[in-house]
Structure 1
């Protein structure tokens, strides 16, 4: 009844952590190299790329914090755990990408248009961008592999899964690495045009385009985290799986209501209404419902369940 699946011998959480760690290592190395290249070349697109990579590096730190804090177990003050905290920290990461990555890139590109400056040492820029493309590509392949395996397990298209997955770290790394690869191509084109024409305008435009790309990605990530924070219900396929699970339990004759709400990455809380077999007395019905709730809560990915008795006229749901 869970949305995301494990890859190989690792759990989804372990796989997500590996994805973020690889992205953090790649972005840190790339950010340092791009910064040196930006200083040596003076290219606006390289400055934008350096800002992009530093923003991504900071974002990966936020994502690691998100995973750590979101994995804390439930306690008396938080009976369904701290799972939603992963969306808060992922939201911070997306806002950072918008403010730092997009903001710096667009601002610097505009400044370069107004006050153009010559660039030099173009070979350094090309070498750094080439190495960055390889490192970012490795990180992207890890995110793609994890997302592809989860999408296949749900019989979904990759793009559909990336947008709908309850794990914001996978979505963030996938989008950020994809944007990084596209941004490197844009930067390389802008720098090449600068070298060929002697004009800094293409370079400045490249910086602005990188910033716009990062802004679009950041807004998508912000919106997805917002939706999960305010309480997004699971898709119909998961709800049908929940109905099948309930109907397979002893004592359940009908299921008339089911609602699954995400309370973290791969974690849902189930509420619903069932009709019990026979006609048990009030006390017996209460005990039966409690037993069913405990059984449902043993399902992987289900944090807890609250069930009530169905009204006689309510139509039955089918899995």
Structure 2
């Protein structure tokens, strides 16, 4: 629902900016219009990402469809780069040689002000949520947003942040154009907006590629998972642990454990399956594969306070 509301808001803002760009002949407003249309298109891809990534696992996809979210988010990031960044930079370069006064600057300021309020409200929501989740994980907000597997949250956070900065750049460029009468300032504003979008696109593309090809879990997550395994009364120690993201907030775990006691092979297999089912009941765990440790393998250290840890 949040993505749908953001899409409708971006469409309305994009229409208003387009009209303002036509009436004012401002290169910065053209860049902002391209920015908003790119954001509106990206919301569609993010909606598809959420829907495709949420599909339940089946025989053909035993680890689920979560990685589809990274694929569609990657497509959305390329949309920012092509429809937003390149268009804005090219138009700004073409307008560098233009001269003349700003036409109807009041229209541009009004549209930019309304857009700033709407984008600010959306960014505030993303910021509040990110801060809350970062505090829960003992991380800074910036590190959490960059590192989270929640690709939609990261995209909304960066897009809204870029939108606010872009509005300030566009407004400042129009002010300088109006004061000095030099249209190059307006063109520079368009170029700066394009560069900003390019930087955001590169960040989002890089993070989605990292999750698609496989990225290491943070030491904090690894320790939480390891300590959670050790909370089971049937697990004596853990000698191997592999954690892989198979979607936004979806984990695939492989571990070698040493069980308590010295039960028969049949009983051991049953106990392993029981522990796997218990772990898979956690909402962020897609699949777990457990096997037995070898006696001479060293135990992994997951820090202190093992009994208090949760995934």
Structure 1 CA distance for aligned equivalents of residues 15 and 257 of structure 2: 58
Tell whether 2:292 aligns with 1:309.
Answer: yes
Tell whether 2:265 aligns with 1:290.
Answer: no
Tell whether 2:152 aligns with 1:172.
Answer: no
Tell whether 2:6 aligns with 1:23.
Answer: yes
Structure 1 CA distance for aligned equivalents of residues 227 and 68 of structure 2: 30
Structure-2 change in CA distance of 1:286 and 1:180 (3 Å): same
Contact 1:37 1:125 in 2 (8 A): yes
Tell whether 2:248 aligns with 1:265.
Answer: yes
Structure 1 match to 2:115: 132
1:100 pairs with one of 83, 93, 101: 83
Q: How does 1:1-319 map to 2 (within 5 A)?
A: 17-18=1-2, 20-116=3-99, 118-319=101-302
The Cα offsets for residues 101-137 of structure 1, whole Å up to 9 and x where unpaired, read as 0011000000001455653111110111011100110
Contact 1:256 1:310 in 2 (8 A): yes
- TM-score of the two chains, using structure 1 as the length reference: 0.92
Structure 2 match to 1:3: none
Q: Secondary structure at the match of 2:61?
A: coil
User: Larger deviation: 287-296 or 60-69?
Assistant: 287-296
Contact 2:98 2:183 in 1 (8 A): no
Post-superposition offset of 1:32:
0.8
The Cα offsets for residues 185-220 of structure 1, whole Å up to 9 and x where unpaired, read as 100111111111111100001100000000000000
Structure 1 CA distance for aligned equivalents of residues 99 and 147 of structure 2: 43
Q: Secondary structure at the match of 2:86?
A: helix
Unaligned runs of 5+ in 1: 1-16
Q: Secondary structure at the match of 1:260?
A: strand
Unaligned runs of 5+ in 2: 303-311
The Cα offsets for residues 262-285 of structure 1, whole Å up to 9 and x where unpaired, read as 111111011010011122333332
Post-superposition offset of 1:303:
0.7
Structure 1 CA distance for aligned equivalents of residues 8 and 139 of structure 2: 30
User: Larger deviation: 211-220 or 75-84?
Assistant: 75-84
The Cα offsets for residues 53-96 of structure 1, whole Å up to 9 and x where unpaired, read as 00001011110111011101111101111011000010000000
Post-superposition offset of 1:22:
3.6
- Count of paired positions: 302
Contact 2:101 2:178 in 1 (8 A): no
Structure 1 match to 2:309: none
Contact 1:23 1:136 in 2 (8 A): no
Structure 1 CA distance for aligned equivalents of residues 8 and 216 of structure 2: 34
Q: Secondary structure at the match of 1:317?
A: coil
Structure-2 change in CA distance of 1:111 and 1:219 (3 Å): same
